[in-house]
Structure 1
Amino acid sequence: MDRLHNTVRPYAWGSVTAIPELLGTEPTGEPQAELWMGAHPGAPSLVDRGTGPVTLTEVIAADPGHELGPETVAAFGPRLPFLLKLLAAGAPLSLQVHPDREQARAGYAEEEALGVPADAPHRTYKDAGHKPELLCALTPFEGLCGFRPPEETAGLLEALGVDELKPYADILRAHPSEHALREVLTAVLSADREAMAGTVAQAAEAAGRLADTPGPWSDACAAYAGIAHHYPGDPGVIAAMLLHHVRLQPGEALHLGAGVPHAYLGGLGVEIMANSDNVLRCGLTPKHVDVPGLLRVVRFEAGDPAVLRPEASPDGEEVYDTPAEEFRLSRHLLAPGSPARGLPAGRAQILLCTAGEIAVTATGRDAAELTLTPGRSVWVPAAESVEAAGSGTLFRATVAPRPH
């Protein structure tokens, strides 16, 4: 096993303090948005096996069977199929969706055939993969996830009292759910940007008033007003009003499948996802927004947001169950003096400490031990089994077991 040396991504929406506070380091004064753990080519983790730092990508390529396990290599090829992150949102992220496998393959092939450069700002599909993801809150965490039932959103738009929003409310009440959501989102994102800016400003002002008035919309409207503060005039503010406003408590998680519109607004969490860069944006971003492409990918399905709580296994491991094949996220809450928890071999693992102090010990002939403190992580090859003991919280990221 190897201690991971990881890269912090300084995206503008990142918190200045959350990741440094977890790591116990001094803030730099710049946003620190994401700490990446894994073998993504954009910022692979480094390990040192005695000959100097090398990327985890190179380590895996040198012996995929040992590092990933034969089952993972057979399913996904000689690459780690997931990426683990600490995500610290100090401002809203873009409102976005991810494609499913078939859409990703088709979109990637189309842009390749058109000769769109891989680094072009208007390129949508960076690879041929889908991107299911899971966000587990470490602090109270706020986000938007999935469409609210249209009749409920109609009530919100009517409560705002903005004349320009009334036609949208009428559509949401008059048509079947899927048709209504499609029509309103299309209208909002396709409208004249200058004309829409005035509507956004009025809606933001009204949301601010509702946020200060006790009632069913105060919490959500506080979020929408905050989004409008960061992105004045952006049509994505109105699009955001179609979505559930979600508050996660520490330990709760959001699972985001293909086509589900979502945005993270604030908080610190552990995020795991399939190792893909494919994102289609609805707004709340200076980046490229491909409205026709987005509308082909969005699933216009209203329902409850997929808030997950971990399910405890007999051995004490708490699992966040999702249908994703590329990853499995779980956590161990370890108490002083409790027996060591065995973490069996078979699939590659990244172990991340988020609280306390955890000792990770190899159980084979090499009885090496590494101590993890908050924000520190370790790579465990598939061929190795380890035990964890101590006092604190340990997240375990691995590949989902294959059905037999």
Structure 2
Amino acid sequence: MDRLSNTVRPYAWGSTTAIPALLGIAPTGEPQAEMWMGAHPGAPSRITRPRPADGPAGGSTVGPTDGSAPAAEQPLNEVVDADPVRELGAAAVAKFGPRLPFLLKILAAGAPLSLQVHPDLAQARQGYADEERRAVPLDAPHRLYKDANHKPELICALTPFEGLCGFRRPVEAAEAMEELGVDSLKPYADLLRAHPEDAALREALGAILGADPARTAETVAAVAEAAERTGGAHAHLAGLAHHFPGDAGVVAAMLLNHVRLQPGEALYLGAGVPHAYIEGLGVEIMANSDNVLRCGLTPKHVDVPELLRIVRFEAAEPGIMRPEASPLGEEVYETPIDEFRLSRFALPPGGTPVDLTSAGPQILLCTGGALKAGELALGPGESVFVPADEKTEVSGTGTLFRATVVA
């Protein structure tokens, strides 16, 4: 197995303290939003392995100390590309193709992320092909589809975690708007009461995002004032408006379920489900994609017609997940997709080592305590990549997250 050296992404919404506290290092004063673990080409993890005798000479080297070939630091995506079957296993390659199908992250939200939605697989393939045909640059601000893959995801809280997830029932959203007593919300509440569920949500979201920006700014200011005054279930709206004054996403947030997770609880977010993370530290896993359509709470491009095509206008409870225990002490977060499987182990003092050998690829992440994966010591925030069929035994005392596939 290989110890991972991981990149921390400094997005503006990131906490300045949460990831440093987990890693036991001093904060830099800059936001540290996401630590990526995996083979995504945008920020692949790096590993150090002996170079093949006839391999390229690039990369930093370590050694040799025992007469073997020097070791080289290599991006994990290049390692997988060089021998997908060895790294991922034949079954995973046959099912998902020759790349690691998931991306694991530590996510630290110090401020709200954008309100967003992800396409399903067919929509992603269609959208990517269309933008490629039109030669829209991958780095263009209005580019929506960065790849041809879907992006289901799961977030598991490490600290108390706050977010928005999925549509609430239209009548509940209408009642919430009416409780605030803001006159400019009345047309949206009327739409929510005038149509069947899917049409009500579609009409209301379209009207909110299509409203005159000056009028929206006045509405958001009035919502913020009313939310501060009334507090309770509306309090989070004042916080959103503080971070995004005048943004239509503050009004759109009133259509969604407001969720608070306790450590160990999780949310699964499938295609078409609008969501936003507001604050907290968590372990996030997703299919290996970067396709995001934004609905608000952002200065970035919002394509309203395409968004309305992708969103699933279905009201549902947010479905807070708690892991299912297995006989070996593995607590599994069950999801309906196969690209990833996330589970958790709480290893007690003096416990028996756990055999995690698998026919598929794995990333093991320690989030607390002192563990050993094989001969590699793992502290909080440290991780390893385990190729398919690699003998894997974990021991020690602490908490371990295991990311793998269902092949």
Instruction: Please indicate, yes or no, whether the TM-score normalized by the shorter chain is above 0.5.
Output: yes
Tell me the distance in 2 between the aligned counterparts of 1:189 and 1:159.
21
1:222 positional shift = 1.4
Answering whether residue 89 of structure 2 is matched by residue 69 of structure 1, we say: yes
Q: Which residue matches 1:338? A: 351
1:261 corresponds, among 245, 262, 274, to: 274
* Structure 2, gaps ≥5 residues long: 51-70
- For residues 191-215 of structure 1, what are the alpha-carbon distances to aligned partners after superposition, in whole Å with 9 as ceiling and x for unaligned? 111111101110111111111xxxx
Q: Which residue matches 1:18? A: 18
1:381 corresponds, among 382, 387, 391, to: 387
Tell me the distance in 2 between the aligned counterparts of 1:85 and 1:157.
35
Tell me the distance in 2 between the aligned counterparts of 1:295 and 1:25.
43
1:69 positional shift = 0.3
1:396 corresponds, among 397, 402, 407, to: 402
| SS of the residue 2:401 aligns to | strand
Q: Which residue matches 1:29? A: 29
8 Å contact from structure 1 (residues 256, 306) kept in 2: no
Answering whether residue 136 of structure 2 is matched by residue 123 of structure 1, we say: no
Q: Which residue matches 1:214? A: none
8 Å contact from structure 2 (residues 357, 389) kept in 1: no
1:67 positional shift = 0.5
Counterpart AA for 2:72:
G
Counterpart AA for 1:275:
N
1:344 positional shift = 2.0
Matching of residues 275-286 of structure 1 within 5 Å: 275-286=288-299
Tell me the distance in 2 between the aligned counterparts of 1:386 and 1:288.
45
Tell me the distance in 2 between the aligned counterparts of 1:360 and 1:116.
44
1:326 corresponds, among 339, 349, 352, to: 339
1:287 positional shift = 1.1
Matching of residues 3-402 of structure 1 within 5 Å: 3-50=3-50, 51-211=71-231, 218=232, 220-361=233-374, 369-400=375-406, 402=407
Tell me the distance in 1 between the aligned counterparts of 2:235 and 2:397.
38
Tell me the distance in 2 between the aligned counterparts of 1:230 and 1:126.
27
Number of aligned residue pairs: give it. 387
Tell me the distance in 2 between the aligned counterparts of 1:256 and 1:186.
22
- For residues 85-140 of structure 1, what are the alpha-carbon distances to aligned partners after superposition, in whole Å with 9 as ceiling and x for unaligned? 00000000000000001111111111111111111111000011100000000000
| SS of the residue 1:293 aligns to | helix
Counterpart AA for 2:381:
G
1:75 positional shift = 1.2
| SS of the residue 2:47 aligns to | strand
- For residues 337-361 of structure 1, what are the alpha-carbon distances to aligned partners after superposition, in whole Å with 9 as ceiling and x for unaligned? 1111110220000000000011111
Tell me the distance in 2 between the aligned counterparts of 1:385 and 1:187.
56
1:52 positional shift = 2.0
Tell me the distance in 1 between the aligned counterparts of 2:224 and 2:44.
40
Counterpart AA for 1:385:
K
* Structure 1, gaps ≥5 residues long: 212-217, 362-368
Counterpart AA for 1:14:
G
8 Å contact from structure 1 (residues 20, 26) kept in 2: yes
Q: Which residue matches 1:364? A: none
Tell me the distance in 2 between the aligned counterparts of 1:158 and 1:57.
51
Tell me the distance in 1 between the aligned counterparts of 2:373 and 2:290.
31
Q: Which residue matches 2:65? A: none
Compute the RMSD of aligned alpha carbons.
0.8
